[in-house]
Chains A and B, each alone.
Chain A
Amino acid sequence: SQQGEEDPQALSIQEGENATMNCSYKTSINNLQWYRQNSGRGLVHLILIRSNEREKHSGRLRVTLDTSKKSSSLLITASRAADTASYFCATGRPGAGSYQLTFGKGTKLSVIP
């Protein structure tokens, strides 16, 4: 069953602006990950945040996690045309034998040069 739900479904911004995408989930998690997918290709891992972390940075990416609200956000600063892609959140559940991630439906980001 789908766990993460990204919001908005689509986002269009000008190059140089910041892009913010949100993810909500329903059950307990031990980590949340963000992935990027360029058109028609496989997904690429961007960043992982553990359930006991509140914020994490990687280059132009900033991820926040609020476990009380069961939500996360991904901020891309100073966007570039090359950031045009779909972005997915994925959640991992606690418990033995939980190897899999549950992916959301994605946010399609268009960065206009």
Chain B
Amino acid sequence: DVKVTQSSRYLVKRTGEKVFLECVQDMDHENMFWYRQDPGLGLRLIYFSYDVKMKEKGDIPEGYSVSREKKERFSLILESASTNQTSMYLCASSVGQTSYNEQFFGPGTRLTVL
């Protein structure tokens, strides 16, 4: 079974802190994605990566950056956390250069910024 793991289920940080969210997948998938999920807004794509060291902006990249140094690992970085970044963050992965394939999701990280 494909497994996507995220480093924390719950995280509490203070305004201005640098925050790292880690995601690891074990199925050699080319594509990895970071979403945030907020009530009433659904899932919104922050960044995605289709290969090592490659990244593409999604719909809401402002205030975030990403890093993909190894194929299995995709990190989301909040350079200076703000309260409006309090949200559920979901990582996903998929195979192939196509949107036809399903995405496999991690369990999510609920981040609270105080």
Q: Which residues of A contact B (CB under 8 A)?
A: 1-2, 30-31, 33, 35, 40-45, 48, 50, 88, 90, 92-93, 97-106
For residue A98, give the distance in angstroms from its CB to the closest CB of chain B. 5
**Smallest CB-CB separation from B31: which chain A residue?**
A99
Q: How extensive is the interface on chain B, given as a class?
A: 20 to 34
Tell me the complex Cα distance, A48–B100, Å. Answer: 8
A-B contact pairs, 24 of them (CB 8 A): A1-B59, A2-B44, A31-B100, A33-B102, A40-B88, A41-B108, A42-B107, A43-B92, A43-B105, A44-B105, A45-B102, A50-B100, A88-B43, A92-B100, A99-B31, A99-B48, A99-B97, A99-B99, A100-B58, A101-B103, A102-B45, A103-B35, A103-B43, A105-B40
**Smallest CB-CB separation from B38: which chain A residue?**
A105
Chain A CB within 10 A, most for which of B43, B44, B45, B94: B43
Tell me the complex Cα distance, A41–B97, Å. Answer: 27
Partner of B99, one of A1, A31, A35, A43: A31
- The interface residues of chain A lying within 8 Å CB-to-CB of B41 are 105
- The interface residues of chain A lying within 8 Å CB-to-CB of B94 are 99
Partner of B100, one of A30, A43, A103, A104: A30
**Smallest CB-CB separation from A50: which chain B residue?**
B100
- The interface residues of chain B lying within 8 Å CB-to-CB of A90 are 103
**Smallest CB-CB separation from B100: which chain A residue?**
A31
Partner of A42, one of B50, B59, B97, B105: B105
Q: Which B87-101 residues have C-beta < 8 A from chain A?
A: 88, 90, 92, 94, 96-100
Contact across chains for A100 and B97 when beta carbons are under 8 A apart: no
Partner of A97, one of B43, B45, B58, B97: B97
For residue B102, give the distance in angstroms from its CB to the closest CB of chain A. 4
Contact across chains for B99 and A92 when beta carbons are under 8 A apart: yes
For residue A8, give the distance in angstroms from its CB to the closest CB of chain B. 14
